[in-house]
Structure 1
Amino acid sequence: MSESSIIEKDIGQHGTHDAMESKPQMPSKDIMVLSKLSRCLTKITAGAGALVLFINVVVVFTSVIWRYALHSPLHWAEEVARALMIALVFFGVATSTGRGGHIGVDLFLRFLPDYARPYVVHASRWILVLVSVGLVVSSFSLVEASLLQTTETGLPQVIYVAPVFIGSAVMLIAALEHAFRERARVVLISALVIAGLAVAGYIKLSLMNDPSSAAAILMLFCFVVGILAGVPIAFTLGMSAMVFFICDPSLPFVFFSQQVAAGVDHFVLLAIPFFLLAGAAMEVNGMSTRLVELIVRGMGKFRGGLNMTTVLAMAFFSGISGSKLADVAAVGGVLMPAVRRAKQDGEEAAGVFAASAVMAETIPPCVNLIVLGFVANISIGALFIAGLVPAACLLVLLLIAANIFGHRIDISAAYPILRPRKQLLLGAAVGLIMILMIGRGVVAGIATSTEISAFAVVYALVVGRLAFGELTLKATVKLFVDIAAMSGVLLFIVACATSLSYVLTIQMIPQMIAELLVSIGFSYGAWLFLILTIVILIIFGAVLEGAPALIIFAPILVPIAIQLGFDPLHFGIVMILAMGFGLFSPPIGLGLYTTCAICGVEMKNVIKPMAKYLAVVLVGIIVVALLPIITVWLPRIMGY
């Protein structure tokens, strides 16, 4: 199973709470028709998303070849790539909605009485319907406004906005199908509760002389309730922004879909699906299994060999996939069977996975490094380099901890059938060359991170196919379909976070926070500001995941940090590590839920064995925060 399909399965459990459903009612004829329609449209958007992703790789790869080999840049390539990017996101999120694959926090639901939980869970499905309706209505107006407009190169403007409407419409049908997939009583009562809240909000606004004055309060209310109710993160963010646009009559509602689309209308963000695709290709073609087996056979003779293998494998794959959830899926899916065969503690192994994922947050080409560079106007190449030494420090600390707390294993039990060593070395060499290609390309300025990621995709598909012969045509097609859907999930979070960030800017909230933090920094010292930043980002990193937290906080915090004398590279790396710590920490870290699902363990049993590894990581983060030289030394040598 590919890493993308593993993640799709896992986040579906946390996002739509299928595991917590009551027994569904037998569907009526109308519901069956809706289900068939949803499945059909989901298949269409899945295929369209895969095709769009493939064409985008070809466009970006070809544009680089044309520029360097033929000295004739394709001026239209970036505009086409950006339009395809928007199509990829909305076709992908429509596919994921049909599959039930969205990320949410369901921890708080466990505190509800058993009789109330199904109603709250199901109410979150109606939120998906409402946000989808808002996007359909808003994007329809956006399509109408763009029909007679053209881009800078003369392309019709509608190519940017039509996918928003199409994807949102398919997403609405899929969300409705999921909303009706339950007992009639639960469907009806949850719908009435949502409708009642909407009517109460409308009456409240209609009685006010200035409805816009309540917009910020209602937005905050929707955000908090959405998080507590387990609404998928993207739709919590989208609902909060949508409510603001509805409440403020001075803002046309078309701004809602416009800002959501604008959130992913950036060439640099293409690096995210491209790196995900390259990493998944390397996993599907068998490189991950060869690499992990090679490390186990090399480290297995040491005390804590399997735990040390986990740490090293996570570091290695972080330089390929770009996504920490993909890293956990790729390495966990391969290594956990060996852990069980060797009769090692699965809960401790899951804890090591989570701690190693935090360590690997700053190893390029991390998705969050790309997002941070984009939103805070920091060189992505410089961030890639700046993250290496801090990651190496955390890597050494975790290896020491794994050696101290781990146990010896019997390699023959972990791997009863051993591959020839030449095969294992070949797998490691292919992956290492890819990492060196990425690093050299970005550092030397040969191409942008997006262009390098396109080369990485071509390398992973072509060289991986030639080296191992395991990447069949059918597996390649499935790979593109799965990565298109996963990219839609991740980037739709970015899109909705951008929309909410726009709303916060209108309300001058970033400026107010900035003034408060600047006063704290100058009154009590810059280091108190840094400590507060770490605490804030650990908390929000746990509930928001990395990208939306970065989009909201980085534009606020980075300028303040510079004003207080911090180097932006140092401060940015500390931000990434703090959010990673929150993402994989109990009790609400989304990444930890994913890790436990992949490892087949319960989170309550993981907390105790993983505490020592998280403590080691936290100490490492504090050291990196207190010693800026660890972060800025290498970039300065490289000329940044």
Structure 2
Amino acid sequence: LMLFEAIQRLMKSPFRQAVSAIAAAAALVVVLMLAKPLFANLGQANLAIIFLIGVPVMVFSGVPIAFAFVAATFAYLALGTHIPTSVLVARVEAGMSHLLLLAIPTFVFLGVLIEITGIAERMIGFLTNLLGHVRGGLHYVLVVAMYLVSGISGSKAADMAAIAPALFPEMEKLGHDRARMTALLAATGAQTETVPPSLILIAVGSVSGLSIAALFTAGLLPAAILGALLSAVVWHQTRGDTHQLRPRAVRRVVLMSFLIALPG
């Protein structure tokens, strides 16, 4: 799918730009092949050159991260070792054939369902009624909502896509800074990477052979601590806040919004 997307992006780019990119890539391959004897004499220094220099250059030039690491691994095998490059293909095929990896597209699909069905919006509605009247309340809502939604979906991109449209307009209406809101959203996305079901933990368990259940159990506490630290940062930044506050919701409204959000 990533290769298909890359080809599709290349086809959408201007013809001259696409030809220039292909020519530059071909020239780079030729230069590396001509320099193969030089790389063969460097020994373990190849790892530092290819992975510490080559990978960042590829990433910052727009190459997807997965392709950057695959290309770096292929270059290391081809230039710095006598191992046949067919080993890389076999290892990639063996890794992608792992049964556990079937969970990844399933959780991504679940994240899309959360966005489409409005489950995230109902959760945010309850949290907003509960915390929206306190100073910096919507920032706390963002932190807690990301934690809760991440416990349903393993895709953090889908979680952020579901929460931001539901919460950001209200926060902007109250005068909050969009840059700070975006930074907090990105921080909560990183904070909830260990909240099960986590795609990263599934991948780690698949590669290392560790128990997925044990990884999921171990991931809850670090995410909760990071959430508490983010909440402390929010409190520190908003203690002198002069932005408009939401009116306090009556207990009946809070209870009704909780019952509405409960099925999600």
Equivalent position of 2:261 in the other structure: 428
Alignment of 1:375-394 (within 5 A): 375-394=207-226
* SS of match in other structure, 2:262: helix
**AA in 2 matched with 1:333:** P
**AA in 2 matched with 1:411:** R
CA distance in 1, matches of 2:82, 2:232: 59
1:255 aligns with 2:164: no
Return the match for 2:34 from 203, 206, 213: 203
Report the CA distance shift for 1:315/1:198 in structure 2 as closer, same or farther (over 3 A).
Answer: same
CA distance in 2, matches of 1:93, 1:232: 8
On the 8 A contact 2:39/2:80 being kept in 1, the answer is yes
Alignment of 1:313-352 (within 5 A): 313-352=145-184
On the 8 A contact 1:215/1:247 being kept in 2, the answer is no
On the 8 A contact 1:307/1:402 being kept in 2, the answer is yes
Give the CA deviation at 1:196.
2.9
Equivalent position of 1:518 in the other structure: none
**AA in 1 matched with 2:223:** A
Give the CA deviation at 1:305.
0.8
Return the match for 2:190 from 358, 364, 373: 358
* SS of match in other structure, 1:411: coil
* SS of match in other structure, 1:247: helix
Give the CA deviation at 1:429.
1.3
Give the CA deviation at 1:187.
4.4
Equivalent position of 2:142 in the other structure: 310
On the 8 A contact 2:111/2:153 being kept in 1, the answer is yes
Report the CA distance shift for 1:187/1:354 in structure 2 as closer, same or farther (over 3 A).
Answer: closer
Report the CA distance shift for 1:232/1:93 in structure 2 as closer, same or farther (over 3 A).
Answer: closer
**AA in 2 matched with 1:392:** A
CA distance in 2, matches of 1:380, 1:226: 32
On the 8 A contact 2:115/2:161 being kept in 1, the answer is no
**AA in 2 matched with 1:402:** V
1:230 aligns with 2:65: no
TM-score, with structure 2 as normaliser? 0.81
Equivalent position of 1:505 in the other structure: none
Residues 152-173 of structure 1 show CA distances to partners (whole Å, capped at 9, x for unaligned) of: xxxxxxxxxxxxxxxxxxxxxx
1:246 aligns with 2:155: no
Report the CA distance shift for 1:327/1:192 in structure 2 as closer, same or farther (over 3 A).
Answer: same
CA distance in 1, matches of 2:22, 2:80: 25
CA distance in 2, matches of 1:398, 1:97: 36
Residues 78-112 of structure 1 show CA distances to partners (whole Å, capped at 9, x for unaligned) of: xxxxxxxxxxxxxx334433554xxxxxxxxxxxx
Instruction: Count matched residues.
Output: 252
1:290 aligns with 2:122: yes
* SS of match in other structure, 1:227: helix
Report the CA distance shift for 1:201/1:356 in structure 2 as closer, same or farther (over 3 A).
Answer: closer
CA distance in 2, matches of 1:211, 1:301: 63
Give the CA deviation at 1:430.
2.0
1:93 aligns with 2:2: yes
Give the CA deviation at 1:398.
2.4
Stretches of structure 2 lacking an aligned partner (at least 5 in a row): 248-252
Residues 333-375 of structure 1 show CA distances to partners (whole Å, capped at 9, x for unaligned) of: 2211222222221111112212222332222111122222233
On the 8 A contact 1:287/1:427 being kept in 2, the answer is no
On the 8 A contact 2:130/2:254 being kept in 1, the answer is no
Equivalent position of 1:301 in the other structure: 133
On the 8 A contact 2:154/2:196 being kept in 1, the answer is yes
On the 8 A contact 1:322/1:366 being kept in 2, the answer is yes
**AA in 1 matched with 2:90:** Q
Q: How big is the alpha-carbon RMSD for the aligned residues of Structure 1 and Structure 2? A: 2.9
Give the CA deviation at 1:386.
1.8
Residues 527-553 of structure 1 show CA distances to partners (whole Å, capped at 9, x for unaligned) of: xxxxxxxxxxxxxxxxxxxxxxxxxxx
**AA in 2 matched with 1:96:** E
* SS of match in other structure, 1:387: helix
Alignment of 1:408-419 (within 5 A): 409-411=244-246
On the 8 A contact 2:107/2:154 being kept in 1, the answer is yes
**AA in 1 matched with 2:261:** A
Percent sequence identity over aligned pairs = 29
* SS of match in other structure, 2:97: coil
Give the CA deviation at 1:285.
0.7
On the 8 A contact 2:205/2:212 being kept in 1, the answer is yes
Report the CA distance shift for 1:281/1:341 in structure 2 as closer, same or farther (over 3 A).
Answer: same
Report the CA distance shift for 1:386/1:248 in structure 2 as closer, same or farther (over 3 A).
Answer: closer
CA distance in 2, matches of 1:400, 1:235: 38
Give the CA deviation at 1:189.
4.5
1:267 aligns with 2:99: yes
Alignment of 1:216-615 (within 5 A): 217=46, 219-220=50-51, 222-247=54-79, 250-406=82-238, 407=241, 409-411=244-246, 424-431=257-264
Stretches of structure 1 lacking an aligned partner (at least 5 in a row): 1-91, 101-174, 413-419, 432-640
Report the CA distance shift for 1:368/1:427 in structure 2 as closer, same or farther (over 3 A).
Answer: farther
Report the CA distance shift for 1:329/1:402 in structure 2 as closer, same or farther (over 3 A).
Answer: same
Equivalent position of 1:193 in the other structure: 24
TM-score, with structure 1 as normaliser? 0.36
CA distance in 1, matches of 2:168, 2:119: 16
Structure 1, 308-317 or 279-288: larger mean CA deviation: 279-288
Give the CA deviation at 1:410.
4.1
